[in-house]
Amino acid sequence: MMLENKVAIVTGGARGIGLEIGHQLAEAGAAVVLADVNADHVTEAADRLRDAGYEAIAVTTDVSDEAQVLAMCQQTLEWGGRIDILVNNAGICPMTPVEEITPGEWDLVLGVNLKGMFLCSKAVIPTMRAQGTGKIVNIASSAGQMGGLAVGVHYSTSKAGTLGLTKSLARILAPDIQVNAVAPGTTESKMTSGWGQNTIEGLVKQIPAGRLGHPADVAAAVLFLASDRATYITGQTLSVNGGLLMV
């Protein structure tokens, strides 16, 4: 299998895109650590993977807290003996209008979405360097590439920062560790399910593929970048947006 004998961490792995990423990595042979701030949901998610016959554990982690991130990595090493793949998927997306965003909310979003990626990446680097190999895949967003209208400006800013973090880490950590990003367009989720039919139809009209993305679309891109098929790809952002024009 593509990821046999690999150990992967997926943050924000309790549901949605994160859980689908964990499932596809496990299906490809990886032992998967699902990390999430929601203890009940992430425990249930890991149970579902194990019930399907995969190797998986849950680790409750707030990625904006360095002590918890270091503990997550230590627990992964104690369980799996190595860390081959890190998928930085954890994120929050408040829809607060720009005039109503408080400094506290700004710090919260940037703390989870961007600082969390940095802390998790920093924590796995020593292990990956010692192994002489590793993959880091950051989940960005089309909102970070061209700005977002529906999402908050703090979310778009954090995802633009993700692109810069990806490029910088890729240059610093080459050649042993490849660092790339996946930038989804609007993807079906619990959030989009409440947007209403008119909103969804308006969005779909802008997408050449004629539909919203599915979590499986994003996970497939992550799987490719996390595999040995992408060892000569680093510092890149793979857009998974159905052909949405970047302006």
List the catalytic residues.
155
Query: How many helical (H) and strand (E) elements, i.e. helices and strands, does the chain have?
Result: 9, 7
Q: Which of 48, 78, 72, 70 is nearest to 60 (CA)?
A: 72
Whether omega before 126 lies within 30 degrees of 0, making that bond cis, reads: no
The DSSP secondary-structure symbol of 102 reads -
100 secondary structure, DSSP code: G
Determine what percent of the chain falls in helix, strand and coil, rounding each to the nearest 5. Answer: 50, 15, 35
Q: How many Å from the N-terminal Cα to the C-terminal Cα in the chain?
A: 39
What is the rounded CA–CA span in Å between residue 220 and residue 179? 16
